[in-house]
């Protein structure tokens, strides 16, 4: 029964569904897949251990933490907020679009600016709400949705443009294991067009959004 | 071993030293003191001695840390927060100077990678160290505070920061177990080998759909790339960098459309006090579908 090998995928889905501890779910899925495919327990440990050592590169971002905490203590977020606040007089859609652009560029440079809890909730959403100036509950819900969405768009399609993003490293490691020698810089460069296309679509969405919210300054 | 190789390995030893510092710091925890210590100590050993320890023992250590996280024995310590007043004062004082070390991390890595013989780990590690030195020169921070803040950040980011590494491990087991073959068998139904576009469509759609099911593009990537991209695209001579880069972001289109990616689509609804997360998904689908189609077109054009 070859399809039994897909048990690992089923375990991941169930584990994520029931919000079990992610690390344990992934490790368990690996063991189960190995066992049903006829590998011995030690062989499975061997494969996982070797892969961990081969992919240590993905965790090298730990070395950037000391400089990041210094920057945060010396006002990185406060200064960024101030720069964004200078853009006050605009529509909600334009403002959120601008945030998407800045956030994409920051992600491409691996600057940790953003986050739903760290940036959108305390800064971006209040500014968007102030620009829209509406009491309508449905419109308010739309503003919140779009605020949450721009954060994701920019985060997802900006991050791989950074050379050494964990996504880029995963691409590299997977292709190397398949026997293709690939350049990390090229992976980053080929991620740029999609970042730009994303910003074009988000611009269109922001224009439609402003029409729906109905207040054009 | 050349000097560059030794330096590259040294970067991982430094990572191990960072997590060792976290381990020692966790002994001051109120709860789960010793188990949290053990967790970070193991991580540190896996980084510092990885070249000396046999792989199956590293695998065994992974099982130990997964038991620790499963039983919720790894906690975050208590730390003091830098005051907002101080941070505002500093941001007035240093203005845009704060962005210089921040930019150096990324730009430095990019430039270092252009030098022949410099490995990725060396470039990324060295650029972080250079920007740290620049930051120390500009701000003259208190060393004790910096170490404490670093420990706090590592603990907060926590065990999940090793997830990409473990997911690749899962991918390695999938490959060893030939799971990819099953995926390619199913994909074959949709693919007409005469038309490369059918394979591109199958790959991009499978990335998005698998990501929607698994809730994680990283988890989907190794399975789908091994199963579909390798036999139907890469073996036909398509650029692996283009296929890989676009394959991953095709997966991200899936992330935009699934409640399984709770961190991005469900939790934010709570953070922003929304009535329901479905309106976030609805907003994102409008962009994700055209983006996914663009992936297919772009991959076709770029690899022509």
B153 Cβ contact list (under 8 Å, min separation 6): A65, A68, A69
The answer to whether residue A217 scores a pLDDT higher than 50 is: no
Give the model confidence (pLDDT) of A120-145 as tens digits.
988 889 888 888 888 889 999 999 99
Please tell me the pTM assigned to this model.
0.84
Q: What is the pLDDT of residue A215?
A: 53
Q: Average of pLDDT values for A90-103?
A: 93
Q: What is the pLDDT of residue B200?
A: 97
Regarding predicted confidence, which is higher, A157 or B99? Answer: A157
B176 Cβ contact list (under 8 Å, min separation 6): A34, A37, A39, A43, A47
Q: Average of pLDDT values for A175-193?
A: 93
Give the model confidence (pLDDT) of A19-62 as tens digits.
788 899 999 999 999 999 999 999 999 999 999 998 888 888 88
B124 inside 8 A of chain A by CB: yes
Q: What is the pLDDT of residue B151?
A: 94
Give the model confidence (pLDDT) of B77-101 as tens digits.
888 877 889 999 999 999 889 889 9
**Minimal C-alpha gap between B128 and chain A (Å):** 5
- The parts of chain B modelled with pLDDT lower than 70 are 1
Which residues numbered 223-262 in B keep a CB inside 8 Å of some CB on A?
223, 225-226, 230, 234, 239-242, 244-249, 252, 255-256, 260, 262
- What string of DSSP letters covers chain B? --HHHHHHHHHHHHHHHHHHHHHHHHTT-SSSHHHHHHHHHHHHHHHHSTTTS-HHHHHHHHHHHHHHHHTT-------PPPPHHHHHHHHHHHGGGGHHHHHHHHHHHHHHHTSTT--HHHHHHHHHHHHHHHHHHHH---HHHHHHHHHHHHHHH-GGGGHHHHHHHHHHHHHHTTHHHHHHHHHHTT--TT-HHHHHHHHHHHHHHHHHHHS-HHHHHHHHIIIIIHHHTGGGT--HHHHHHHHHHHHHHHHTT-TT-HHHHTHHHHHTT-S-THHHHHHHHHHHHHHHHHHHHHHHHHT-
B69–A47 CB contact, under 8 Å: no
The answer to whether B204 and B296 have CB atoms below 8 angstroms apart is yes
Signed CA dihedral, A183, A187, A193, A196: sign only: negative
The answer to whether residue A92 scores a pLDDT higher than 80 is: yes
* Mean pLDDT of the residues in chain A: 90
- Other CB atoms within 10 A of residue A135 CB: 6
Residue A1: pLDDT band by 50, 70, 90 thresholds?
low
B175 inside 8 A of chain A by CB: yes
Instruction: Using alpha carbons, select from B304, B295, B282 the residue that is nearest to residue B236.
Output: B304
Q: Which of B163, B182, B269 sits opposite A2 (nearest CB)?
A: B182
Q: Average of pLDDT values for A164-172?
A: 91
**Minimal C-alpha gap between B77 and chain A (Å):** 16
In chain B, residues with a C-beta closer than 8 Å to the C-beta of A23 are: 65-66, 69-70, 159-160, 162-163, 166
B271 inside 8 A of chain A by CB: yes
């Amino acid at each position: 029964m070859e399809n039994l090998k897909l048990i690992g995928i089923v375990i991941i889905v169930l584990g994520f569904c029931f919000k079990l501890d992610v690390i344990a779910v992934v490790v368990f899925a690996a063991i189960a897949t190995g066992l049903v495919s006829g590998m011995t327990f030690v062989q499975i440990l061997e494969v996982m251990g070797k892969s961990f050592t081969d992919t240590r590169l993905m965790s090298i971002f730990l070395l950037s933490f000391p400089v990041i905490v210094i920057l945060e203590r010396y006002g990185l977020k406060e200064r960024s907020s101030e720069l964004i606040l200078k853009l006050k007089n605009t529509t909600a859609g334009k403002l959120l679009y601008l945030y998407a652009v800045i956030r994409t560029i920051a992600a491409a440079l691996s600057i940790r600016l953003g986050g739903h809890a760290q940036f959108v909730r305390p800064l971006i959403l209040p500014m968007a709400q102030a620009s829209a100036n509406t009491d309508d509950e449905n419109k308010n819900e739309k503003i919140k949705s779009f605020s949450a969405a721009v954060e994701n768009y920019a985060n997802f399609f900006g991050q791989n443009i950074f050379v050494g993003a964990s996504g880029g490293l995963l691409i590299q490691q997977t292709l190397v294991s398949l026997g293709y020698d690939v350049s990390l810089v090229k992976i980053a460069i080929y991620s740029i067009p999609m970042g730009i296309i994303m910003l074009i679509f988000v611009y269109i969405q922001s224009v439609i959004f402003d029409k729906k919210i109905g207040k054009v300054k | 071993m050349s000097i560059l190789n030794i330096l590259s390995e040294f970067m991982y030893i430094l990572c191990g030293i960072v997590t060792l510092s976290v381990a020692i710091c966790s002994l001051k925890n109120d709860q789960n003191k010793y188990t949290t210590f053990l967790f970070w100590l193991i991580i540190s050993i896996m980084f510092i001695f990885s070249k000396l320890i046999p792989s199956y023992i590293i695998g065994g250590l992974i099982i130990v840390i997964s038991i620790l996280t499963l039983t919720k024995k790894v906690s975050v310590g208590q730390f003091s927060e830098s005051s907002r007043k101080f941070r505002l004062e500093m941001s007035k004082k240093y203005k845009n100077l704060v962005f210089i070390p921040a930019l150096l991390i990324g730009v430095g890595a990019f430039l270092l990678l252009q030098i022949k013989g410099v490995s990725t780990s060396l470039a990324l590690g060295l650029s972080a160290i250079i920007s740290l030195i620049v930051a120390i020169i500009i701000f003259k921070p208190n060393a004790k505070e910096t170490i404490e803040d670093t420990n706090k950040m590592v603990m907060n980011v926590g065990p999940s920061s090793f997830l990409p590494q473990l997911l690749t491990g899962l991918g390695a087991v999938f490959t060893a177990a030939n799971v990819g073959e099953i995926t390619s068998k199913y994909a074959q139904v949709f693919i007409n080998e005469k038309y490369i576009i059918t394979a591109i469509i199958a790959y991009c759609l499978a990335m998005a759909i698998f990501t929607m099911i698994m809730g994680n593009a990283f988890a989907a990537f190794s399975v789908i790339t091994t199963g579909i991209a390798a036999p139907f695209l890469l073996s036909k001579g398509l650029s692996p960098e283009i296929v890989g880069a676009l394959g991953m972001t095709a997966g991200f289109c899936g992330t935009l459309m699934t409640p399984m990616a709770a961190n991005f689509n469900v939790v934010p609804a709570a953070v922003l006090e929304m009535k329901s997360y479905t309106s976030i998904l609805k907003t994102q689908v409008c962009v994700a579908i055209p983006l996914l189609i663009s992936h297919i077109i772009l991959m076709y054009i770029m690899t022509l």
